Amino acid sequence: MKDAMHLSSDETASTAVYSQVPTPRSDTSDQCGDDATCCLVIRSTFFHLETEEEPLTRRFHKLRRHRTEGPWLWEPKAEKVYEIPAPTPAEPPAPEIAVEEVKKPKERTTVMLRNLPNNYTREMFLQLLDEQGMKGLYDFVYLPCDFYRDANLGYAFVNMVHAQAVEFLWRTFHGFSDWALPTAKVCEVRWSGPHQGLRAHVDRYRNSPVMHKSVPDDYKPMIFKDGVRKAFPRPTKKVKAPFDRRW
Protein backbone atom coordinates (compact mmCIF):
# COMPACT_ATOMS: atom_id res chain seq x y z
CA MET A 1 0.00 0.00 0.00
CA LYS A 2 2.94 2.31 0.70
CA ASP A 3 4.35 1.54 -2.74
CA ALA A 4 1.01 2.35 -4.37
CA MET A 5 0.95 5.82 -2.85
CA HIS A 6 4.27 6.71 -4.52
CA LEU A 7 3.20 5.76 -8.05
CA SER A 8 2.83 8.34 -10.79
CA SER A 9 -0.54 9.85 -11.66
CA ASP A 10 -0.84 7.71 -14.83
CA GLU A 11 -0.06 4.54 -12.95
CA THR A 12 -2.30 5.34 -9.98
CA ALA A 13 -5.26 5.94 -12.30
CA SER A 14 -5.38 2.21 -13.06
CA THR A 15 -3.85 0.76 -9.84
CA ALA A 16 -6.05 -0.64 -7.11
CA VAL A 17 -4.95 -2.24 -3.84
CA TYR A 18 -7.37 -4.60 -2.15
CA SER A 19 -7.09 -4.79 1.59
CA GLN A 20 -9.11 -5.81 4.62
CA VAL A 21 -10.25 -2.25 5.47
CA PRO A 22 -13.39 -1.71 7.51
CA THR A 23 -16.12 0.27 5.80
CA PRO A 24 -16.07 3.90 6.99
CA ARG A 25 -19.80 4.54 6.44
CA SER A 26 -22.49 2.87 8.48
CA ASP A 27 -24.97 2.77 5.55
CA THR A 28 -22.69 0.37 3.61
CA SER A 29 -22.15 -2.07 6.42
CA ASP A 30 -24.84 -4.35 5.08
CA GLN A 31 -22.93 -4.83 1.83
CA CYS A 32 -19.33 -4.81 2.99
CA GLY A 33 -19.63 -6.28 6.48
CA ASP A 34 -16.67 -7.02 8.65
CA ASP A 35 -15.20 -9.56 6.25
CA ALA A 36 -16.02 -7.71 3.02
CA THR A 37 -13.16 -7.01 0.67
CA CYS A 38 -12.81 -3.27 -0.16
CA CYS A 39 -10.70 -1.57 -2.75
CA LEU A 40 -8.61 1.49 -1.92
CA VAL A 41 -8.13 3.50 -5.13
CA ILE A 42 -5.73 6.41 -5.41
CA ARG A 43 -6.69 8.85 -8.16
CA SER A 44 -4.89 12.16 -8.51
CA THR A 45 -4.00 12.30 -4.79
CA PHE A 46 -7.65 11.66 -3.78
CA PHE A 47 -8.68 8.46 -1.97
CA HIS A 48 -11.81 6.68 -3.13
CA LEU A 49 -13.08 3.74 -1.12
CA GLU A 50 -15.08 1.34 -3.28
CA THR A 51 -16.55 -2.10 -2.87
CA GLU A 52 -16.27 -4.86 -5.42
CA GLU A 53 -20.05 -4.99 -5.84
CA GLU A 54 -20.81 -1.23 -6.23
CA PRO A 55 -18.53 1.82 -5.76
CA LEU A 56 -19.44 4.17 -2.94
CA THR A 57 -19.25 7.18 -5.21
CA ARG A 58 -21.90 5.66 -7.46
CA ARG A 59 -24.14 4.98 -4.45
CA PHE A 60 -23.59 8.57 -3.25
CA HIS A 61 -24.60 10.02 -6.62
CA LYS A 62 -27.67 7.78 -6.76
CA LEU A 63 -28.73 8.88 -3.29
CA ARG A 64 -28.15 12.55 -4.09
CA ARG A 65 -30.06 12.28 -7.36
CA HIS A 66 -32.93 10.55 -5.58
CA ARG A 67 -33.20 13.35 -2.99
CA THR A 68 -33.00 16.26 -5.42
CA GLU A 69 -34.88 14.84 -8.41
CA GLY A 70 -38.02 13.42 -6.92
CA PRO A 71 -41.12 12.68 -8.98
CA TRP A 72 -42.54 16.07 -7.95
CA LEU A 73 -39.55 17.91 -9.45
CA TRP A 74 -38.71 15.91 -12.49
CA GLU A 75 -41.01 14.91 -15.26
CA PRO A 76 -39.96 13.33 -18.51
CA LYS A 77 -40.22 15.74 -21.38
CA ALA A 78 -42.64 14.78 -24.06
CA GLU A 79 -41.02 14.01 -27.32
CA LYS A 80 -41.63 16.55 -30.02
CA VAL A 81 -43.52 15.27 -32.97
CA TYR A 82 -42.55 16.98 -36.17
CA GLU A 83 -45.17 16.96 -38.84
CA ILE A 84 -44.59 17.90 -42.42
CA PRO A 85 -46.88 20.84 -43.21
CA ALA A 86 -49.39 20.26 -45.92
CA PRO A 87 -48.71 22.15 -49.12
CA THR A 88 -50.57 25.46 -49.39
CA PRO A 89 -53.09 25.33 -52.22
CA ALA A 90 -52.27 27.70 -55.00
CA GLU A 91 -54.50 30.77 -55.20
CA PRO A 92 -56.64 31.03 -58.30
CA PRO A 93 -55.44 33.62 -60.78
CA ALA A 94 -57.08 37.02 -60.52
CA PRO A 95 -59.70 37.62 -63.18
CA GLU A 96 -58.67 39.92 -65.93
CA ILE A 97 -60.31 43.34 -65.83
CA ALA A 98 -61.40 44.79 -69.08
CA VAL A 99 -60.18 48.24 -69.94
CA GLU A 100 -63.75 49.52 -70.08
CA GLU A 101 -64.37 48.45 -66.45
CA VAL A 102 -61.56 50.59 -65.03
CA LYS A 103 -63.10 53.82 -63.79
CA LYS A 104 -61.27 56.96 -64.70
CA PRO A 105 -60.66 59.53 -61.96
CA LYS A 106 -63.33 62.19 -61.84
CA GLU A 107 -62.36 65.26 -63.83
CA ARG A 108 -61.91 68.50 -61.94
CA THR A 109 -63.96 71.34 -63.38
CA THR A 110 -64.07 73.99 -60.62
CA VAL A 111 -61.37 76.65 -60.42
CA MET A 112 -60.71 79.68 -58.23
CA LEU A 113 -59.65 82.97 -59.75
CA ARG A 114 -57.52 85.01 -57.36
CA ASN A 115 -56.28 88.63 -57.27
CA LEU A 116 -59.49 90.07 -58.70
CA PRO A 117 -60.03 93.81 -58.34
CA ASN A 118 -62.05 94.36 -55.16
CA ASN A 119 -64.29 96.96 -56.80
CA TYR A 120 -65.50 94.49 -59.47
CA THR A 121 -69.20 93.69 -59.08
CA ARG A 122 -70.75 90.35 -59.93
CA GLU A 123 -72.19 91.73 -63.16
CA MET A 124 -68.79 93.10 -64.17
CA PHE A 125 -67.20 89.71 -63.48
CA LEU A 126 -69.82 87.86 -65.56
CA GLN A 127 -69.33 90.37 -68.39
CA LEU A 128 -65.58 89.74 -68.23
CA LEU A 129 -66.10 85.97 -68.59
CA ASP A 130 -68.39 86.42 -71.58
CA GLU A 131 -66.08 88.90 -73.27
CA GLN A 132 -63.24 86.39 -73.04
CA GLY A 133 -65.31 83.74 -74.83
CA MET A 134 -66.58 81.83 -71.77
CA LYS A 135 -70.33 82.33 -72.38
CA GLY A 136 -72.12 78.99 -72.15
CA LEU A 137 -68.97 77.23 -70.82
CA TYR A 138 -69.68 77.74 -67.12
CA ASP A 139 -72.64 76.59 -64.99
CA PHE A 140 -71.72 77.98 -61.55
CA VAL A 141 -70.29 81.35 -60.51
CA TYR A 142 -69.80 82.75 -57.01
CA LEU A 143 -68.06 86.02 -56.18
CA PRO A 144 -67.88 86.28 -52.36
CA CYS A 145 -68.56 89.84 -51.23
CA ASP A 146 -68.68 92.01 -48.16
CA PHE A 147 -71.84 93.99 -48.81
CA TYR A 148 -71.22 96.21 -45.79
CA ARG A 149 -68.25 97.65 -47.68
CA ASP A 150 -69.79 96.96 -51.08
CA ALA A 151 -66.66 95.14 -52.28
CA ASN A 152 -65.74 91.60 -53.23
CA LEU A 153 -63.11 89.60 -51.36
CA GLY A 154 -60.70 89.38 -54.29
CA TYR A 155 -61.49 85.85 -55.53
CA ALA A 156 -64.26 83.93 -57.30
CA PHE A 157 -65.30 80.32 -57.93
CA VAL A 158 -66.23 79.18 -61.43
CA ASN A 159 -67.33 75.70 -62.48
CA MET A 160 -66.82 74.87 -66.15
CA VAL A 161 -68.99 72.40 -68.07
CA HIS A 162 -66.08 70.14 -69.14
CA ALA A 163 -62.31 69.75 -68.87
CA GLN A 164 -61.58 71.42 -72.22
CA ALA A 165 -63.36 74.55 -71.01
CA VAL A 166 -61.19 74.52 -67.90
CA GLU A 167 -58.05 74.53 -70.04
CA PHE A 168 -59.40 77.44 -72.06
CA LEU A 169 -60.18 79.47 -68.91
CA TRP A 170 -56.78 78.62 -67.41
CA ARG A 171 -54.87 79.83 -70.45
CA THR A 172 -57.00 82.99 -70.62
CA PHE A 173 -57.00 84.18 -67.02
CA HIS A 174 -53.75 82.90 -65.51
CA GLY A 175 -51.62 86.02 -65.66
CA PHE A 176 -54.52 88.20 -66.87
CA SER A 177 -54.23 91.93 -66.09
CA ASP A 178 -56.43 93.67 -68.72
CA TRP A 179 -59.05 94.85 -66.25
CA ALA A 180 -61.81 97.34 -66.96
CA LEU A 181 -60.68 99.39 -63.95
CA PRO A 182 -57.18 100.67 -63.27
CA THR A 183 -55.33 98.22 -61.00
CA ALA A 184 -51.95 96.52 -60.82
CA LYS A 185 -53.37 93.11 -59.86
CA VAL A 186 -52.48 90.01 -61.89
CA CYS A 187 -54.99 87.19 -61.91
CA GLU A 188 -54.02 83.69 -60.80
CA VAL A 189 -55.96 80.46 -61.45
CA ARG A 190 -55.97 77.60 -58.93
CA TRP A 191 -58.00 74.47 -58.39
CA SER A 192 -60.94 74.86 -56.04
CA GLY A 193 -60.96 72.72 -52.93
CA PRO A 194 -62.33 70.75 -51.31
CA HIS A 195 -65.52 71.01 -53.39
CA GLN A 196 -65.46 70.11 -57.06
CA GLY A 197 -68.28 70.10 -59.58
CA LEU A 198 -71.70 71.71 -59.88
CA ARG A 199 -73.52 69.32 -57.56
CA ALA A 200 -70.95 69.73 -54.78
CA HIS A 201 -71.24 73.52 -54.86
CA VAL A 202 -75.03 73.48 -54.97
CA ASP A 203 -75.08 71.25 -51.87
CA ARG A 204 -72.50 73.51 -50.25
CA TYR A 205 -74.47 76.77 -50.64
CA ARG A 206 -78.18 75.87 -50.80
CA ASN A 207 -78.40 75.83 -46.97
CA SER A 208 -75.74 78.47 -46.39
CA PRO A 209 -76.55 81.79 -44.62
CA VAL A 210 -75.54 83.55 -47.83
CA MET A 211 -78.82 82.30 -49.31
CA HIS A 212 -80.87 83.92 -46.56
CA LYS A 213 -83.56 86.34 -47.76
CA SER A 214 -81.84 89.23 -45.96
CA VAL A 215 -78.77 88.96 -48.20
CA PRO A 216 -78.96 90.98 -51.43
CA ASP A 217 -79.12 88.90 -54.61
CA ASP A 218 -75.97 90.52 -55.99
CA TYR A 219 -73.93 88.66 -53.36
CA LYS A 220 -75.38 85.18 -53.88
CA PRO A 221 -74.01 82.34 -56.03
CA MET A 222 -75.63 81.59 -59.37
CA ILE A 223 -76.13 78.54 -61.60
CA PHE A 224 -76.49 78.52 -65.40
CA LYS A 225 -77.52 76.24 -68.21
CA ASP A 226 -76.41 77.00 -71.77
CA GLY A 227 -75.47 80.51 -70.67
CA VAL A 228 -78.87 81.29 -69.11
CA ARG A 229 -79.24 81.80 -65.37
CA LYS A 230 -81.47 79.31 -63.55
CA ALA A 231 -83.11 79.43 -60.13
CA PHE A 232 -80.97 78.10 -57.35
CA PRO A 233 -82.36 74.88 -55.78
CA ARG A 234 -84.44 75.42 -52.68
CA PRO A 235 -82.82 74.74 -49.30
CA THR A 236 -83.42 71.41 -47.58
CA LYS A 237 -83.60 72.96 -44.10
CA LYS A 238 -84.19 76.30 -42.46
CA VAL A 239 -81.51 78.79 -43.50
CA LYS A 240 -79.99 80.78 -40.68
CA ALA A 241 -79.47 84.51 -40.99
CA PRO A 242 -75.87 85.60 -41.53
CA PHE A 243 -74.01 86.89 -38.49
CA ASP A 244 -70.73 87.83 -40.14
CA ARG A 245 -69.79 90.23 -42.88
CA ARG A 246 -68.23 87.57 -45.05
CA TRP A 247 -69.73 84.41 -46.59
Percent of the chain with pLDDT strictly greater than 70: 55
pLDDT of residue 187: 97
Q: How far apart are CA 43 and CA 56, in angstroms?
A: 15
Contact 45, 53 (CB under 8 A): no
Average pLDDT over residues 224-234: 93
pLDDT digits (tens, 9 = 90+) for 109-150: 999 999 999 999 999 999 999 999 999 999 999 999 987 788
The CA distance from 126 to 140, in Å, is: 11
State the pTM of this model. 0.56
pLDDT number for residue 128: 96
Sign of the C-alpha dihedral computed for residues 196, 200, 202 and 204 taken in this order = negative
pLDDT of residue 103: 47
User: Residue 188: its pLDDT value, please?
Assistant: 96
Mean of pLDDT over the chain: 75
Report domain extents, the chain.
2-68, 110-230
pLDDT of residue 73: 47
* pLDDT above 90: residue 165: yes
- Highest mean pLDDT: which of 23-27, 67-71, 212-216? 212-216
Give the tens place of pLDDT for each residue, 172-199: 999 999 999 999 999 999 999 889 999 9
- Band of residue 94 on the pLDDT scale cut at 50, 70, 90: low
| pLDDT digits 0-9 by tens, 59-71 | 666 666 655 545 4
Strands in 46-51's sheet, in edge-to-edge order, are 16-19, 38-43, 46-51
Fold for domain 110-230? Answer: Alpha-Beta Plaits (3.30.70)
Asked if the bond preceding 194 is cis, omega within 30° of 0, the reply is: yes
Average pLDDT rounded to a whole number, residues 190-218 = 92
